[in-house]
Amino acid sequence: MSVKELARELFPEDLFGYAEKLTEGELKVLKHLREEMEKCIRPVLIESYEKALLPREEILGAFAAARIMDHPDLFVGREGQWKPREIYNTFLYLELARFDPSVATFYTVHGGLGYNTILIGGNDEQRERFGVPVRTFQAQTCFALTEPDHGSDIAGGLATTAERRGDKWILNGEKRWIGGAKTADFIPVFARDVETKKIKCFMVKKGSEGLSVENVPHKIALRLVNNGHITLKDVEVAEADRLENINGYGDVAKIFVRTRADVAYIAMGTAAGAYNAALRLTTTREQFGRKLAGFQLVQEKLARMQANVVAAIAYSVRISELQEEGHEVMLNSSLAKLHNSLRMRETVALAREVCGGNGITLETEVARFFTDAEAIYTYEGTHEINAMLVARELTGIGAFV
């Protein structure tokens, strides 16, 4: 099977053929991932969603079996690099989010936010010690920045403190909405140095004395992802476990440039998942003696959903190319996140609409995409925050308070 044929088989919603930019090896890894998710995760997906349980072993097992971060076929011509090509990353998120947005979000916390924190913030020894177990899924990580009282204003409002005492640091404070925190083997915790007032990052190990994590209850979205409320009370971290290249919010922003693009990809995949679920139902369910997809109003909505998905893929692929070329700037990733999230929100609503009452049941899948989209629309910068970041570049005027 040629690259073009394999790309079309895997991504039929990619009408303009952007997936044909992938290598045969990259496409085979993505195909293997699909097989592993169907085998390992699909059987427990609905029950896990209803009970708000993270099928951690099933998810990590599928990822590890497909070797989505370290397969040799992903590094042909880029031997020695820590990450595969960015365009592969784009279609990886399309595959993950189209399957389930919670699974994609779990991955972006681990393989996006957490992994990029290690790569950007760590020295060579720290990248080996923390990065290798993450990329092979031998260990799980996350990303602890957001606090109960500080989200969008975290740059100036971060309240968690770190105090240097000899060759150790003492951390005190709280974090909230930290995906996967309760099961993570080590947590990158961002805290403000009490002496310099600069933000630093510390790798806090699971089970550390003074560390407690409770899951945030009663969520309507991303129910498989257990968001943690972290409390740090005199938690000791060795100086060797401080990521030495993070010494201010500017270094944190470098992480966001990469991972905000990842969330734009997740929004793309969520829209595609909702569209595909709606297409399956409307082409099989009959009303008034004909398939739902045979009605003009339904066809208009399906066409609009497909157009949104193609536009989101186009945004995502171009951003991935710019990232790969080294043009990692906030304007690009914020614009993509803003656009794709808007189009996603419209698409999941249209998908639920054309499915009627079946659109609120988990069996037709649309309901998961519909509810999860609300969380994706908000995290990694709300619509308003990303709009202001883009507009600041356009006008030269910062509208932040």
Burial class (CB in 10 A: 0-12, 13-18, 19+), 37: buried
Percent of the chain with pLDDT over 90: 90
Asked if the 154-249 domain carries CATH number 3.40.50.2300, the reply is no
Give me the architecture of the 3-135 domain, per CATH.
Answer: Orthogonal Bundle (1.10)
Average pLDDT over residues 233-242: 98
Question: pLDDT-based confidence at 153, cuts 50/70/90?
Answer: confident
Give the pLDDT of residue 155: 76
Average pLDDT over residues 230-252: 96
pLDDT tops 80 at residue 124: yes
Question: pLDDT-based confidence at 216, cuts 50/70/90?
Answer: very high
| Phi-psi sector, 176: left (phi>0), alpha (psi -120 to 50), beta | beta
Question: pLDDT-based confidence at 380, cuts 50/70/90?
Answer: confident
Q: For the whole model, what pTM was predicted?
A: 0.95
Question: pLDDT-based confidence at 363, cuts 50/70/90?
Answer: confident
pLDDT tops 80 at residue 377: yes
Residue count (the chain)? 401
pLDDT tops 80 at residue 154: no
Give CA–CA dist 75/325, Å, rounded: 16
Q: What CATH number was assigned to the domain covering residues 252-395?
A: 1.20.140.10
Question: pLDDT-based confidence at 381, cuts 50/70/90?
Answer: confident
Instruction: Look at residues 176, 190, 63 and name the one whose alpha carbon lies nearest to residue 114.
Output: 190
Give the pLDDT of residue 383: 92
Average pLDDT over residues 392-396: 92
Give the pLDDT of residue 89: 97
Instruction: Look at residues 373, 396, 372, 401 and name the one whose alpha carbon lies nearest to residue 385.
Output: 401
Average pLDDT over residues 10-37: 97
Average pLDDT over residues 110-118: 96
Give the pLDDT of residue 400: 82
Question: pLDDT-based confidence at 156, cuts 50/70/90?
Answer: confident
Give the pLDDT of residue 152: 76
Give the pLDDT of residue 341: 97
State pLDDT tens for residues 264-310: 999 999 999 999 999 999 999 988 989 999 999 999 999 999 999 99
Could you tell me the CA-to-CA distances from 372 to 37, 100, 322 in Å, in that order?
A: 19, 9, 28
With beta carbons less than 8 A apart as the criterion, state whether 247 and 200 touch: yes
Name the token pair of 23.
């290598």
Rounding to the nearest 10 degrees, give the CA dihedral for residues 204, 207, 211, 214: 110
Strands (E), 121-241: 161-165, 168-179, 186-193, 199-205, 211-215, 227-238
Q: Where are the domains of the chain?
A: 3-135, 154-249, 252-395
Average pLDDT over residues 385-397: 92
Name the token pair of 75.
């590094």
State pLDDT tens for residues 245-260: 999 999 998 998 888 9
Give the pLDDT of residue 212: 97
State pLDDT tens for residues 310-359: 999 999 999 999 999 988 888 999 999 999 999 999 999 999 999 999 99
Give the pLDDT of residue 343: 97
Q: What is the mean pLDDT of the chain?
A: 95
pLDDT tops 90 at residue 225: yes
Give the pLDDT of residue 329: 87
Average pLDDT over residues 48-69: 96
